[in-house]
Amino acid sequence: MSGIGSETVLGAFLIFCRIGACLMLVPGFSSSRIPMRVRLFVAMAVSLALSPLLIEQVGPLVAAGTAPSALLGSIGSELLIGFMIGLLGRLFFMALEFIAVAASQAMGLAVMPGISVTDDEQMPPIASLFSLTAVTIMFVTNQHWLLLGGLVDSYTTLKPALGFQAQASLISVVDQLSAVFFLALRIGSPFLIYSILVNFAIGLTNKLSPQIPVYFIAMPFVTAGGLLLLMVTVNEFMANFIDAFGLWLSNG
């Protein structure tokens, strides 16, 4: 493809299908706080920037004489592959938000209203803080470049000519779910242990002195202890998460 003809345009569009579908879901780029046009322009800019590197990979799919039905199948396949890659990255942040909500409940702050920074759904302020911190660290540590590098490498491991492999993709999603939620339980274990110990102590105290509203009296101390635990563990919490996310970007 030496000139900019119809084959080149179709090839660039196929690249945009995979990259755009991935950026539609991947953390940081897919935030609803970013205007839709900005997200579209970012996906188009990245696709055009990477097209010279990837145009040969999609060349056979848009060669002269390709049937329209085959071209439509290639478009759908590239969209599904990009969607799967973005979903695998999104699962990390879903697990982080899950364990952050659990930590908020352990500290007694889950009832406080809040809005997610990355989505439109309601979320406790502590969980929103964790999510925003993780996205910020991702960009500060240049892991978004690893993401773009992984998209380029995906054309070697997930070749466009082979199409979308549904069974392998489902296996990858299940394995990723298992890995990220084990990661979430590992980094959030101090808060889970704290919640068990505190609730056991409050329940035992309330059983011994039922005439005293122990639960309501103890809530400020539970919140203070949870915030103290957060202050002690937040650095390791975020470091373990971002290291695991970076390892997936490098090897996934």
Contact 96, 10 (CB under 8 A): no
Tell me the pLDDT tens digit for each residue of 150-198: 888 888 888 887 878 888 888 888 999 999 999 998 888 888 898 888 8
Contact 195, 106 (CB under 8 A): yes
- How confident is residue 113, by pLDDT bands cut at 50, 70 and 90? low
For residue 148, the model assigns a pLDDT of: 86
User: Mean pLDDT, to the nearest integer, of 26-50?
Assistant: 86
Lowest mean pLDDT among 24-28, 52-56, 66-70, 185-189: 66-70
Cβ neighbour number for residue 14 with a 10 Å cutoff: 26
Rounded Cα gap, residues 246 and 252, in angstroms: 9
Instruction: Please spell the DSSP secondary structure of 35-74, one letter per residue.
Output: -HHHHHHHHHHHHHHHHHHHHHHHGGGG-TT--HHHHHHH
User: Mean pLDDT, to the nearest integer, of 9-35?
Assistant: 85
Judge whether residue 1 has pLDDT over 50.
no
